[in-house]
Structure 1
């Protein structure tokens, strides 16, 4: 098996992992699934020889997990600087700017936004990745990011409509545990 087909296989695995990411209304599950997807697609990009995209995706994975623990500006700044320095240092083609831009924008979204705004900014980031992946010839990457673009777009509309009806689509409902009457 050639490295190319191994890379494409890893991309398809990433596609399978990522396909349901944006339907999660629970912010924690959304971010965890996004992190796993980012780690796998990063491996795919490294195997494809796309260093800036691979580095951006792996930073996405780490950044997404860390953004679950803190939303401090300095942490966000560290990830943006790392993305720019590492990505720009290996830049060989103008199209490789797109994952760097996408990662920078999504970093800002994960640290500074919540709910529907997060998904809207992530949609813009996804548009950058779709164009890059198509240019690179990444089958799995183009399929998954194209799917993200459509699925996240549809969910943005659905969540927006829920908000217009006065429903908070991001409110986590907690089940109330009822104690059964004790028998003596």
Structure 2
């Protein structure tokens, strides 16, 4: 197997890992799966020669795991600074700036938003990655990010419609978050 074939195989593996990510209503599971996907796709980008995309993806994996433990502003800004600094230093083409921007915006979203807002910002970030992957010639990356764009878009619409009908699709997640933060759940409101 050639290096190119192996690199494309890593992209297909990332596709298989990430395909179900946006169905998660639970932010914790969503973020864990996102971190795994980011680590694999970063390796794919590195093997394809897209080093700024690889750096952005690997930083995304670490950042996503950090966001599971803290919502600290200084940690968020640290990851944004690392993404911008390392990513821009390794960018050799304007198209390589897109994943850097997408990663910086999604970093903000993972630390400062939740629920539907997170998914909407992630959708915009995905647009940056789709354009980059098509430019790079990444088969697996284009397939997965295109799938993310479609699946996350459809889930955003579905979650939005549920909210319009008075159903909170993130109720369980909010209850768990409140419980983790030491708050008490109102009676009858357990997830």
Same fold per superposition (TM over 0.5): yes
**Equivalent residue number for residue 61 of structure 1:** 61
Q: Which has the larger radius of gyration?
A: 1
**Equivalent residue number for residue 28 of structure 2:** 28
Deviation at 1:126, TM superposition (A): 0.1
Deviation at 1:172, TM superposition (A): 1.4
Instruction: Note the residue ranges of structure 2 that are not aligned, 5 or more in a row.
Output: 176-191
Scaled by the length of structure 1, the TM-score of the pair is: 0.93
Alignment deviations for residues 96-154 of structure 1 (CA, whole Å, 9 cap, x no partner): 00000000000000001110000000000000000000000000000000000000000
Whether 2:158 is the aligned partner of 1:158: answer yes
Report which of the two has the higher share of helix: 2
Scaled by the length of structure 2, the TM-score of the pair is: 0.90
Deviation at 1:90, TM superposition (A): 1.0
Poorly superposed stretches of 4+, deviation over 6 Å: none
**Equivalent residue number for residue 90 of structure 1:** 90
Deviation at 1:91, TM superposition (A): 1.1
**Equivalent residue number for residue 9 of structure 1:** 9
For residues 167 and 52 of structure 1, what CA distance do their matches in structure 2 show? 41
Whether 2:65 is the aligned partner of 1:79: answer no
Deviation at 1:5, TM superposition (A): 0.7
**Equivalent residue number for residue 169 of structure 2:** 169
SS of residue matched to 1:172: helix
Whether 2:46 is the aligned partner of 1:46: answer yes
SS of residue matched to 2:79: helix
**Equivalent residue number for residue 104 of structure 1:** 104
